[in-house]
Every structure is written in structure tokens, then in C-alpha cells.
Amino acid sequence: MQTHNTHVAKTVIGVLSGTDPAARTILDRSTPLREDFLQALLAGPSFGISGRRPRARLNKKGDPRPTDMDLASFLVELAKAPQSVIELPAYSTALPRAIDETVTNLSERRYGQLLGLSSHRDHFSFGVTLEDVSLMQRSSLEADSIGAPRTFLILDHNGYWHEGWRGIGWQPKKVERAFRERFDLLEDPYHKGYQYFVHPKRVWSIYSRAHLLLKLCHERLVEESEARTKSHQSGHESPAALTAAGKPEIRTTFTMKLYGLKWTGEFQSTPLTVSEAMYYSWYERTMQFFVRANEYAWYQYGLKDKVVATWIKGLSWDIPHSDKYQEAGWLHLPHRTSLSFRKDIIVKTVKAR
């Protein structure tokens, strides 16, 4: 819905119109997406610990309390640092994986190098992917090996803390250690005392230039990877795929889409090189994590009141449909563009993998 006194920030207008230099690069399929360009996009959002001022872990009476520093910001810092190692002191999946006699679990503690941050394009499951060195893989043809990539849930598919997650530990780097000392954050070896996965103040982030660019770039990476790689699989759905075999579950799906932007050009006809495929895949997963985390913040803290950012004045959400099981809305923006959301309550059966 639009009123006569409409005002949208110039930075957002630049993205919607395609005049923003970064948006112009993304929207032109013939322009290569270099890794330095993708890195600059990730540096734009205010995810991480820089500029944050969390409350101390002790109240005025000296009693411990959950920090209002969100866990996702610390995970982003870890993902930025090379060769970060994470430990899960105890972890149980929603359901055990399908039996694999070639894999032996050497320890209840799961630990290894952080390979990436995981999210789901439809659900609100979030997690971490590790090179899990608590696993040994046996082979009849080659030597046995230690370690295998595994994704571990932190939030389940409905966006709640995963019941099988019992904390997460890591050795703080120099910058994080100084941050913790400055704000008197107690030593919490397994980082279980978090009030938020994503901070409520990110509720306005879906309307920002940084978010819109990441959302566009993620879409471009997915489409280009599919066009230039025959066996590419998009979506990265690993965090939400574990559930009881044959057991129906009630799930919430929530998606947001941006319409009306003008794409130009054609993708290169040559296949992605090995190095291109590797960094496309990493940036695709990481950008999806950022985008979905922002959308999760709006879903948790802005959906009920249909919150719109202060830099978008005179516009409000049109809600053509809303009931107990489904809700959808449109925010009509300048240059004949629009942002939409859709929420569905579904019953879904997924077998363990």
C-alpha cells in the first residue's frame, strides 16, 4: 500500500533501479563475478562483532544471565577466520542417519575445522558444517581415513533451538578475546548461554542496500552455477533434512522474493573452472546464510506488525491472504519492483539420510 508522502532511501533506489554499481554488475549476466567483488559484498552487512555493545553476562547483583550478543554474529566471525576449529561437546540429530558400515564414530564429542555456515532456503534451520574428525571412514580399496564433512543443526527447521544441540565451543581469536574482555563477557566454554540466534535489531535489515545486494547476488550465483555446471545442486538443504523416517511433522516454511528488477546479458557458455566452482559454492552458501538470517529476524520480530524500515516511508505491506495455515504479502516498491513474503504451515514427511 502506498501513500502520497512516499520516500525511499537513495541507496535502496539505486539497487531497485539497477544504477547502483554493484547491482549493475550482478544484474548483467555477462559480467563475471570475481572473488574480490563477492568478498566486498559480504563485508557490507553489519554481521559480526564489530561495533556491537552487548550487555555483560553478570547483572548488577552479580548473577549470570544470557548475553544479548547473538550467536550468529560470533559464527560469522569464525567463518571469516582461516582454519577455525569448532567443538560440539555432545550432539544428537533429529534422527540417526542411515546406517553406513564404512563409518565409525570415534567419540561423542564432535569437532573439526569449520567448512562453512549452513541454512535452508525454505525453512529456518541454521547450522555449521565441519570436517568432523571424530569420524573414521573405512575402505576396502584404500587406506582408512579420519574425518568427513558433516552439518550440525543449531536451529531446527521451525527456527527453534535444536534439542540435540548442547553447546558449541571454540578458541577465541585475538579480536574476539579483546571484545569479550572489553564487555565483561564471562568465560562460557560451550557458548550455550545465548538469548538470541539472530539479534532482534536485525528486523530492518531486509530493507537495506546490503541485504538486497546479497539477495540478488545469491540468486545470480545459483542460476549461473546451474547454467554452467551440469551436476550443480542448489539450495543447500542439508540442515533440515534429518527427521523420523515415515513420521509426518508440522513444519513452517517462509520465503521472501524480490521481483521486477531488470536482468540483462547472458551467462558465459564455458563451464565453471574448478576454482570458480569452489568459490561460487562457498559464496552461495555463505550469502544464503546472511540472507536467511536477516529474513529470520524479520519473521521473528517484524512479521506480526509488518514492520517497515524508517528509510522506507509511506509504504506498507498489502496482505491479500492470511489464515491459520498460510499468509502472504506484497510490498510495492519504486521502479515497478516489489518484495513479497509467503508463510505456510505444512505437514511433511522426510526420510533420514
Domain limits of the chain? 2-45+200-348, 71-182
Give the Cα separation of 47 and 198 in Å (integer): 10
**Residue 311 clears pLDDT 70, i.e. is over it:** yes
pLDDT of residue 241: 41
Q: Is 233 exposed, middle or buried (0-12, 13-18, 19+ CB in 10 A)?
A: exposed
Read off φ and ψ for residue 181, nearest 5 degrees: -65, -40
Cα(30)–Cα(267) distance, integer angstroms: 5
Q: What is the mean pLDDT of residues 153-157?
A: 91
pLDDT grade for 138, boundaries at 50, 70 and 90: confident
Bridge partners for 250 per DSSP? 347
More confident residue, 24 or 84: 24
- Asked whether the predicted pLDDT for residue 233 surpasses 50, the reply is no
C-alpha cell at 59: 547483572
Q: Per-residue pLDDT averaged across 303-307, rounded?
A: 95
SS3 251: strand
**Mean of all residue pLDDT scores within the chain:** 84
Three-class secondary structure assignment of 21-57: HHHHHHHECCCCCCHHHHHHHHHCCCCCCCCCCCCCC
pLDDT of residue 49: 75
| Mean pLDDT across 77-94 | 83
Q: Is 225 or 171 the better-scoring residue by pLDDT? A: 225
Across the chain, the runs of DSSP E, i.e. the strands, are: 2-8, 85-88, 103-105, 110-119, 126-137, 145-155, 169-170, 249-259, 312-315, 318-322, 326-333, 337-348
Look at residue 208 and tell me whether its pLDDT is greater than 90: yes
- Of residues 234 and 270, which shows the higher confidence score? 270
Confidence (pLDDT) at 95: 58
pTM: 0.86
Half-sphere exposure of residue 206: CA atoms within 13 angstroms, side-chain side: 26
